[in-house]
Copies of this chain bind each other. A is one copy, B any other.
Amino acid sequence: MSAVNFDNVTCPQPLRDYPQVVLGHGGGGQLSAELIEHLFVPAFRNPALEALGDAAIVPPPAGRLALTTDAYVVRPLFFPGGSIGELAVNGTVNDLAVSGAEPLYLTASFILEEGFPLADLQQIVERMAAAAVHAGVRIVTGDTKVVERGHGDGCFITTAGVGWVPPGRTLGPEQIRPGDAVLVSGPMGNHGIAILSVREGLEFETVIPSDTAALNGLIAHMLAVCPDIRVMRDPTRGGLAASLNEFARHSGWGIEIHDNRIPVEEPVRAACDLLGLDPLLVANEGKVVAIVPAPAADGLITAMQQHPLGQQAAIIGQVTEQHPKRVVARTPIGGSRIITLPMGEQLPRIC
């Protein structure tokens, strides 16, 4: 063995020599190991991740499992109030929370474009780590692939989430009954307008920040006050209109909302007016829409308003036997219009 050269170091080196992502960062070799050990592990630090196995092994949850996944392709990557990093954590946490689950673990998978600045990746990862701490979840495993310049767009992130659902908790549109109240946790449209304004270089009088936030704390509070919430969604792509249409279609009942009860912040309303957008169709990233038994609605709203993320919670409508499977908005002047599911993407790459 004496002929063997032991000076050949195989331990991961610091990242400093590479200001940008190179294909080798996705190659499963030494550069991949450096990225993992000097960037991802220090940011996401937890025992399951640090084992660096092909899968993370974690304690079992105490009930049924909830699983979710979302790809994040938002452009730009950084915007007022957040970044793709916060979205990738909060969005997946929220999908678990609105399903009645307590979020526990996240996985994180990166598709990076060759040449992407490592400093930007570092910042995104640190924001993910902070968002995970804030939401009380752990990022326990991940993956990185690198595609050639011109075959991606900087940084795409896919997170998957695992949570647990307590025994007896069953949320879903099939629980909806006529007479139920429809409520939202706060003003609509902030995230979409935040993205659009930076992307299109629009200048409004006020900077409109994204509302990105983890909703699991608020939702746990809501379920404690009102255990028989029928169904919840976080109205992201497609906005409130998409969530309400899903409720109507899958429950078979009609939903009636009142335009003048839907909270919309004044700068967001002004921007929507200017751009010809309906705030009901604009994405949110830190709001929940819920359908609850009518007798519980007022108490729930009061409780939500005690929480930082629910201060502007409002009852916006009710479930009706009329116009089954349709969402209808009543206008202040006594008219009505059907709120349809938008055909496609109003604002592409909003999340």
**Structural contact, A150 and B147, CB atoms closer than 8 A:** no
Q: Which residue on chain B has the smallest CB distance to residue A65?
A: B58
**Structural contact, B147 and A73, CB atoms closer than 8 A:** yes
Interface positions, chain A 181-240, Cβ under 8 Å from B, are: 233-234, 236-238
Cβ contacts under 8 Å, A338 to chain B: 4-6, 8
Q: Does A303 contact B (CB under 8 A)?
A: no
Q: Does A272 contact B (CB under 8 A)?
A: no
What size tier do the contact residues of chain A reach? Answer: 35 or more
Q: Contact string, A59-77, partner B, CB cutoff 8 A, digits 1/0? A: 1110111111111110000
Q: Does A164 contact B (CB under 8 A)?
A: yes
A47 to chain B, nearest CB (A): 12
Q: Tell me which of A38-46, A123-131, A292-300, A321-329 binds B.
A: A321-329
| Contacting residue for A30 out of B63, B69, B233, B342, CB 8 A | B342
Q: Which residue on chain B has the smallest CB distance to residue A31?
A: B344
| Contacting residue for A59 out of B59, B65, B152, CB 8 A | B65
**Structural contact, A29 and B343, CB atoms closer than 8 A:** yes
Q: Does A306 contact B (CB under 8 A)?
A: no
**Structural contact, B345 and A27, CB atoms closer than 8 A:** yes
**Structural contact, A160 and B345, CB atoms closer than 8 A:** no
A183 to chain B, nearest CB (A): 17
Cβ contacts under 8 Å, A323 to chain B: 1, 4, 6
Interface positions, chain A 295-351, Cβ under 8 Å from B, are: 322-323, 325-326, 328, 335-338, 340-346, 348-349
Q: Which residue on chain B has the smallest CB distance to residue A336?
A: B4
Distance, CA A160 to CA B1, complexed state (A): 43
**Structural contact, A57 and B10, CB atoms closer than 8 A:** no
A321 to chain B, nearest CB (A): 12
A332 to chain B, nearest CB (A): 16
**Structural contact, B55 and A66, CB atoms closer than 8 A:** yes
**Structural contact, A67 and B55, CB atoms closer than 8 A:** yes
**Structural contact, B142 and A242, CB atoms closer than 8 A:** no
Q: Does A24 contact B (CB under 8 A)?
A: yes
With contacts A6-B326, A28-B345, A31-B344 taken as known, whether A152 is within 8 angstroms of B152 at the C-beta atoms is: yes
With contacts A10-B245, A242-B29 taken as known, whether A58 is within 8 angstroms of B64 at the C-beta atoms is: yes
Tell me the A residues contacting B by CB distance below 8 Å: 1, 3-6, 8, 10-11, 22-33, 48, 51-61, 63-73, 94-96, 98-99, 101, 105, 107-111, 140-148, 150-153, 156, 158, 160-165, 172, 233-234, 236-238, 242, 245-246, 249-250, 283, 322-323, 325-326, 328, 335-338, 340-346, 348-349
8 A-B pairs with the lowest CB-CB distances in the bound complex, closest first: A24-B344, A28-B237, A27-B345, A160-B160, A28-B238, A158-B158, A69-B107, A29-B342
**A-B residue pairs in contact (CB < 8 Å), sample of 23:** A1-B328, A3-B336, A6-B323, A23-B348, A26-B345, A27-B342, A27-B348, A28-B238, A28-B283, A29-B345, A30-B341, A31-B344, A32-B238, A51-B172, A53-B172, A54-B233, A57-B101, A60-B65, A65-B65, A68-B141, A111-B111, A145-B156, A151-B153
